[in-house]
């Protein structure tokens, strides 16, 4: 009979170590470097958001094992960590494509026709907003204002900014994403 607390299962940290040894060491080293105070949950919680930022930077997303490791190290419950991840749009618990295409849907981009760009990308990629293509190459998302309103409408691919985008430019933008 298995125990309901999952104690018989492989520990999250061990599993993560087995699958992604380097990334996992990087994360644990980061957490070990934080000035955590044993027993002071309130103060330690203050490091949660930056830990998640780092973890997502390392793993690309926040799988349940990563959440579990963070929960153990910071002394917070998993539900609390999931609560934070689901609250902030920057965090995701699903793997996303290598090329993150984000169309800015801020006001300036909207009045200058950003919706048409989204439609064109949806048609070209065959995915909806917030989804990744089957080959894990492209993720299509929307952003609320990157603050480059003079270039509206704006599309960001990873850290590259395309300005004054028209639907005709979509092919070129996708073509720029060669591995």
Partner 1 sequence: MRINSLEALKDYKSRLCGVSSGKTSILMSLGTCGLAAGGAKVADAIRAELDKGLSGKYEAVSVGCMGLCYCEPTIELRDEAGRSAIYGHVTPEQIPAILAAGLDGEAAGATKVKRTWYYPEEEENKDGVLQARIALRNTGRIDPEKIDDYLKYDGYQALGKVLKTMAPEAVSQEILDAMLRGRGGAGFPTGKKWQFAAAQPKGQKYMICNADEGDPGAFMDRAVLEGDPHSVLEAMAIGAYAIGADKGIIYIRAEYPLAIERLQKAIKQAREMGFLGKGIFGTSFDFDIELKYGAGAFVCGEETALIHSIEGKRGEPTFKPPFPAIQGLWKKPTVVNNVETYANVAAIIRKGAAWFKSVGTSGSPGTKVFALAGKINCVGLVEVPMGTTLRDIIFGLGGGILNNRGFKAVQTGGPSGGCITTKNLDTPIDYETLKSIGSMMGSGGMIVMDEDNCMVNIARFFLDFTCDESCGKCTPCRIGNRRLYEMLTDICRGKGTEETLEELRTLSNVIKDTALCGLGQTSPNPVLSTLDNFFEEYEAHVKEKRCPAGVCTALLKFTINDNCIGCGLCAKNCPTGAISGKVKSKHVIDQDKCIKCGVCQQKCKFKAIDKK
Applying CB under 8 A, the residues found at the interface with partner 1 are: 42-50, 52-53, 83-84, 87-91, 105-108, 110-112, 143-152, 154, 159, 161, 163
Identify which of 112, 107, 105 has the alpha carbon closest to the alpha carbon of residue 166. 112
Q: How far is the CB of 164 from partner 1 (least distance, A)?
A: 9
The two structure tokens encoding residue 35: 């000035």
Q: How far is the CB of 87 from partner 1 (least distance, A)?
A: 4
User: In whole angstroms, how far apart are CA 64 and each of 79, 112, 128, 161, 178?
Assistant: 11, 40, 24, 32, 30
Q: Name beta bridge partners: 143.
A: 104
Q: CB nearer to partner 1: give 96 or 154.
A: 154
Q: CB nearer to partner 1: give 25 or 158.
A: 158
Q: CB nearer to partner 1: give 48 or 58.
A: 48
């Amino acid at each position: 009979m298995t125990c309901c607390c999952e104690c018989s299962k492989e520990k999250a940290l061990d599993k993560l170590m087995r699958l992604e040894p380097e990334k996992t060491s990087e994360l644990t080293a980061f957490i070990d470097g934080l000035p955590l105070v044993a027993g002071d949950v309130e103060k330690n919680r203050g490091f949660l958001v930056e830990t998640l930022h780092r973890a997502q930077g390392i793993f690309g997303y926040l799988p349940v094992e990563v959440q579990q490791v963070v929960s153990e190290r910071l002394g917070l419950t998993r539900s609390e960590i999931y609560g934070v991840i689901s609250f902030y749009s920057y965090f995701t618990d699903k793997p996303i494509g290598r090329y993150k295409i984000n169309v800015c849907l801020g006001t300036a981009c909207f009045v200058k026709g950003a919706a048409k760009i989204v439609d064109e990308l949806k048609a070209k990629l065959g995915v909806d907003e917030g989804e990744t293509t089957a080959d894990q190459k492209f993720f299509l998302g929307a952003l609320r204002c990157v603050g480059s309103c003079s270039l509206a409408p704006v599309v960001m691919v990873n850290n590259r900014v395309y300005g004054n985008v028209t639907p005709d430019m979509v092919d070129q933008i996708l073509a720029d994403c060669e591995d």
